[in-house]
Amino acid sequence: MSSRGPGTEAFAPRLLAWYARHGRHDLPWKREPTPYRVWVSEIMLQQTQVATVLSYFAPFVRRFPDVAALAAAEVDEVLHRWSGLGYYARARNLHRAARLVRERHGGEMPGDIEALTALPGIGASTAGAILALAKGERHPILDANVQRVLCRYHAIDGWPGQSAVRKRLWALAERHTPRSEVAAYTQAIMDLGATLCTRRRPVCALCPLENGCGARAERRQHELPAPRPKRERPQRRTAFLILRDAGGAFLLERRPPSGVWGGLFGFPEGVPGGDLRAECERRFDVEVKAMQRLGDLHHGFTHYALDIEPHLFDVVRRGSELRDGDGRIWHAPGDALEVGLAVPVSRLIEMLAPGTR
Ligand code: SF4
């Protein structure tokens, strides 16, 4: 592992001067940067582009303006408001953490790194960002954007997920963080990574760090940071059992709290190749009148790829009404739905009953 680039003196002043002129000052979470709003925005921005977060942040904080409102909400509603942002563990952790803040800290976001990182979903970088952006305290951050900038500027080889590389990056992040204007600096380095030092096409000609950037000097911008070593992604297959009653309502089932689409509602699943018709009649107390195999869907997760066989069953319900709390609902498209749906499920509903959700 090598590292180069000039000392610390020029790094922060150049970034700050650039940020004053070219930073994205109009992002909604930069207005009123309370610890709560910074926290929500940082969690939304993990693994999600700014353009997508822009359409979720304002409605979310309007509905849940503070920790108390988020803690008081049901997790279903939080997941519902998160539907489409993906990586739902983030929403579940946000909600769990809000309840812990209510219990342990009287509803106020804690003011120190240790208490913040003890909350679910808050790592050292997010905790640093909350304290730096909301309170101007000097804490380094190392999110994906900052990691990319530092890897390139210092021409650091090795995958940043490796602990030796990570340690080195934290030390550099600490060294570059200035003693004053910490909030502006933190925004600046995140903005630089998001707008100029981008993953695919870094715009070095406009970058305030161009003089002194190791990757630029060695023409290795496209090699750095080194990607995660490749692993074969396993392929899995499942069948969606789409039960539609005579009124056009679909049967939805709550998924287990952890794992893929944890806590969201979706179609029940069956084993591909099995007698799915008999399974539906047995499991859901219905009579199947007609069945149809729909085209396969493919969904990629970080750890595996999922092939989905959707099977549509037109059914007559035999009786037993579903009760609250049994984890199943019959949902008529067009009716308000205050639970989170897995993305392929909302796509299938939209396809089968266009314009109703
Ligand atoms: S000069 Fe290019 S590679 Fe180096 S920090 Fe700037 S944008 Fe990134």
Q: How far apart are CA 284 and CA 195, in angstroms?
A: 51
Mean per-residue pLDDT for 92-98?
97
Q: How far apart are CA 32 and CA 101, in angstroms?
A: 20
In the chain, which residues fall in CATH 3.90.79.10? Answer: 235-352
Q: How far apart are CA 280 and CA 122, in angstroms?
A: 41
The HSE-up count of residue 142 (CA atoms within 13 Å, CB side) is 19
Mean per-residue pLDDT for 324-337?
80
- Which one of 197, 201, 220, 224 would you pick to mutate in the ligand 1 pocket, going by the greatest count of ligand atoms within 8 A of its CB? 197
For ligand 1, what atom is nearest to the CA of residue 207? 6
- Within 10 Å of residue 7's Cβ, how many Cβ atoms? 9
Quote the ligand 1 centre to 126 CA distance (angstroms).
23
Band of pLDDT at residue 8, cut at 50, 70 and 90: low
Structure tokens, 223 = 């090699």
Q: How far apart are CA 315 and CA 247, in angstroms?
A: 10
Pick the CATH number of 11-217 from 2.60.120.620, 3.40.50.620, 1.10.340.30, 3.40.1190.20: 1.10.340.30
Contact yes or no for 218/155 (Cβ under 8 A) = yes
Structure tokens, 353 = 């009953």
pLDDT score, position 356: 57
- pTM of the shown model: 0.76
Quote the ligand 1 centre to 262 CA distance (angstroms).
39
Quote the ligand 1 centre to 229 CA distance (angstroms).
23
- Which one of 150, 196, 199 would you pick to mutate in the ligand 1 pocket, going by the greatest count of ligand atoms within 8 A of its CB? 196
Quote the ligand 1 centre to 82 CA distance (angstroms).
33
pLDDT score, position 320: 61
HEC string of 124-142 equals: HHHHHHHHHHHHCCCCCCC
Which of 112-126, 176-190, 191-205, 289-303 has the least mean pLDDT?
289-303
pLDDT score, position 340: 87
In the chain, which residues fall in CATH 1.10.340.30? Answer: 11-217
Residue ranges of E strands in the chain: 235-244, 250-254, 265-266, 269-270, 286-293, 297-300, 305-317, 328-331
Question: What are the pLDDT digits (tens) for 42-51?
Answer: 999 998 888 9
HEC string of 71-133 equals: HHCCHHHHHHHHCCCCCCHHHHHHHHHHHHHHHHHCCCCCCCHHHHHCCCCCCHHHHHHHHHH
Q: Whose CA is nearest to atom 4 of ligand 1?
A: 213
Structure tokens, 209 = 């760090």
pLDDT score, position 357: 53
Please, what's the b/e burial string for 103-118 (b: 16 or more CB within 10 A of its CB; e: otherwise)?
A: eeeeeebbeebebbee
**Where in the sequence numbering do the catalytic residues fall?**
42
DSSP-derived 3-state class of residue 239? strand
Question: What are the pLDDT digits (tens) for 219-232?
Answer: 999 999 999 888 78
pLDDT score, position 3: 45
pLDDT above 50 for 175: yes
- Which one of 209, 211, 218 would you pick to mutate in the ligand 1 pocket, going by the greatest count of ligand atoms within 8 A of its CB? 209
The HSE-up count of residue 318 (CA atoms within 13 Å, CB side) is 10
pLDDT above 60 for 7: no
Kindly list the protein residues whose Cβ atom lies closer than 6 A to any atom of ligand 1.
149, 152-153, 196-197, 202, 204, 207, 209-210, 213, 215-216, 221
Band of pLDDT at residue 19, cut at 50, 70 and 90: very high
Phi-psi bin for 166: left (phi > 0), alpha (psi -120 to 50), beta? alpha
pLDDT above 60 for 36: yes
pLDDT above 70 for 324: no
For ligand 1, what atom is nearest to the CA of residue 209? 6
Size (the chain), residues: 357
Fold of 235-352: Nucleoside Triphosphate Pyrophosphohydrolase (3.90.79)
